[in-house]
Amino acid sequence: MLDPSLTSNYRPISKIPLIAKILEKIVAKQLTAVLDKYSIFDKFQSGFRKVHSTETALLRVSNDILLQSDAGKCSVLLMLDLTAAFDTVDHYILLNRLKHWVGVSGTALKWFSSYLSERYSSVAVSKYRSSSASLSFGVPQGSVLGPLLFLVYLLPLQHILSPFEDICYHCYADDIQLYISFKPEEASKLRLLNVCLETIKGWMAENFLQLNESKTEVLLCAPDRHIPSIINALGPLSTFVKPSVRNLGIILDPALTLDSHVKSLVRSCFYHLRNISKLSSIISYTELEIVIHAFISSRLDYCNSLFTCLNKGSLERLQIVQNAAARLLTKASK
């Protein structure tokens, strides 16, 4: 019997020469200019785009849900993730997207066809290497163009979702967030969420994409008294309901207070501060500053615009972490 650890899906490493990356950057710049000029990008896609980030995606979703909550409505957030999404991109379909959705033709289209074709993969273990196999699917991992081409591949998704007017969505690359708000007595609207999900699954099957059901999660943003009726109306999706969910690196609770996220963040920061303190006597001030920024400040800064909703207690906990980091850096007493 094979060891389960040997049957894992290992992501291949693409060996891309420096000159190729420079060429890709030039092409990516030109392609992005066209996508921006003609508003081809999905406006609710925050992945790999200028002035867009995980923070803008989370801000939009959390703000929408909080506004609906203030209006006395309940909300259900459904988070979807794709399995090995970049590795299953069909080259023929992608070239069709570039031709019919973006308007690439002639020599430029032939260049993209050449870029995708004649790539090979092999497996190396110790001193042994397998024979090479042609790659007829996927965009190169670690390439400059890969993420941009994946966004082009997903362009039809916005039109798949547009008929579902009551359902809002926001994407970050292959992470898809669907959410719907409704009055407590309108829980029957949730059947649309199941219909929408089945439509997405159908479109993905046609495009060689697959949802990762193990990462499918549902968050109910509603008063406790309405939870039973909402779960009942969710149907098959009720099995994916979680008390809290990790969304793009942020832990969300039903009230969007971020209390769970702050507790996890503080615990992680103090763990690293204890380890950094053991090094403080053998590294310089500049090196210590870099380490604290990498392990502490970067964590506190991540999506910190969401912290405007934090209560006083959570803010004080974050301030304690900053004070501890400052004392460690300056060697000051408490």
Would you give per-residue pLDDT tens digits along the chain (334 residues)?
A: 334 444 455 666 777 888 989 999 999 999 999 999 999 999 999 999 999 999 999 999 999 999 999 999 999 999 999 988 899 999 999 999 999 999 999 999 999 999 999 888 888 888 888 888 888 889 988 899 999 999 999 999 999 999 999 999 999 999 999 999 999 999 999 999 999 999 999 999 999 999 998 899 999 999 999 999 999 999 999 999 999 999 999 999 999 999 999 999 999 999 999 999 999 889 999 999 999 999 999 999 999 999 988 999 999 999 999 999 999 999 888 7
Q: What is the pLDDT of residue 10?
A: 61
- Per-residue model confidence (pLDDT) at position 2: 38
Distance CA 101, CA 46 (A): 19
Tell which residue, 70, 108, 88, has the closest CA to residue 221. 70
Q: Coil, strand or helix: which one is 126?
A: coil
Q: What is the largest CA-CA distance in the chain?
A: 69
Main-chain dihedrals φ then ψ at residue 246, nearest 5 degrees = -95, 115
Give me the helix-helix angle, 259-277 and 285-292, nearest 10°.
Answer: 160
Which H or E element spans position 252?
Answer: strand 250-252
At 195, list the tokens.
Answer: 């219909």
Instruction: Give the whole-angstrom CA distance, residue 115 versus residue 103.
Output: 18
Contact by Cβ (8 Å): 244, 202 = no
Provide the 10 A C-beta neighbour count for residue 126.
Answer: 5
Cα–Cα distance, 129 to 323 (Å, whole number) = 52
At residue 333, the pLDDT reads 84
In angstroms, the CA 268 to CA 280 distance is: 18
| CA distances for 325 relative to 263, 281, 305, angstroms | 17, 15, 21
| Nearest CA-CA partner of 91 in 47, 146, 142, 46 | 146
CA atoms within 13 A on the CB side of 17: 3
The pLDDT score that the predictor gives to residue 9 is 54
pLDDT at position 168: 96
Contact 116, 95 (CB under 8 A): yes
Note whether 139 and 97 are within 8 A (CB).
no
Amino acid 325: pLDDT: 96
- Distance (Å, rounded) from C-alpha 52 to C-alpha 151? 13
Nearest CA to 98 among 88, 108, 86, 89? 108
pLDDT for the residue 327: 95
Q: How confident is the model at residue 42, as a pLDDT? A: 95
Are the C-beta atoms of 221 and 255 separated by less than 8 Å? yes
Q: CA 75 → CA 95, 161, 198, 218, 320, distances in Å? A: 38, 18, 20, 10, 34
Within 10 Å of residue 240's Cβ, how many Cβ atoms? 17
